[in-house]
Amino acid sequence: MKKIAIFASGSGSNYQAIIDSVKAGVLETSVELLVCDNLNAFVLERAKQENTPSFAFDPKEYRSKADFEKQIAAEIKNRDIDLIVLAGYMRLIGPVLLQEFPNRIINIHPSFLPAFPGKDAIGQAVKAGAKMTGVTIHYVDEGMDTGPIIAQETLPILEIDTEDTLAKKIHEIEHRLYPEMIQVLLQQISAKIRR
């Protein structure tokens, strides 16, 4: 069975959706590790509840990003992880992890990229008066939400939508699409290994 690590910084509803898909038998993977850069994040409570081992750290306690990424890389290598899944990890991935795990790090972003990259993508779309937004799953490169796109789904923004209603609809898409795409990617990884 292929193994994944999830990186998150906040509430972790996407972490939960992945766990729930595994429990439901629709996503065949083992969630081996949660990496969290915020010691107060609710996702850590979820991980405890679900018995996912976690590596939580405070970036301020390290001299540099390279220092904490080296430690993360060691945790991941120890567990033979096949895919790193960013789910609300509010930090750019640096050269240490990118070089160690090429084409093995994916992210989900709450907009139809390349529109509205970066923080508060939902708020950005509403403020811009956009008629359409969506969800993007992409490989991670050194840029901010710029890596090759794996899957996208659009969502119309209605006159009556607020940031809250839009966020709810976007999360619903994310919670379905991310587990689906992780399953597809893990199958591709298995096929490549067999070839």
11-19, 97-105, 126-134, 152-160 -> range binding ligand GRF (CB under 6 A): 11-19
Give the residue, chosen from 3, 13, 55, 57, that forms a contact with ligand GRF under the rule CB under 6 A.
13
List 4, 6, 7, 14, residue binding ligand GRF (CB under 6 A): 14
For ligand GRF, the binding residue among 31, 83, 108, 155 (CB under 6 A) is: 108
Q: Choose one: 10-18, 26-34, 48-56, 58-66; the region binding ligand GRF (CB under 6 A).
A: 10-18
167-175, Cβ contacts within 8 angstroms, sequence gap of 24 or more: 167/110, 167/122, 170/110, 170/122, 170/133, 170/134, 170/135, 171/13, 171/14, 173/134, 173/135, 174/13, 174/14, 174/17, 174/108, 174/110, 174/135, 175/13, 175/14, 175/17
Pick between residue 180 and residue 190 the one whose CB is nearest to ligand GRF: 180
Cα-to-chain-centroid distance, residue 138: 9
Q: Is 134 in the site for ligand GRF (CB under 6 A)?
A: no
Whole-angstrom CA distances from 66 to 35, 60, 113, 141 are 15, 13, 28, 16
Binding-site member from 166, 174, 177, 182 for ligand GRF (CB under 6 A): 174
Nearer to ligand GRF, 179 or 191 (CB): 179
Which residues are known to be catalytic?
A: 109
Binding site for ligand GRF (CB under 6 A): 8, 10-14, 87-88, 108-110, 174
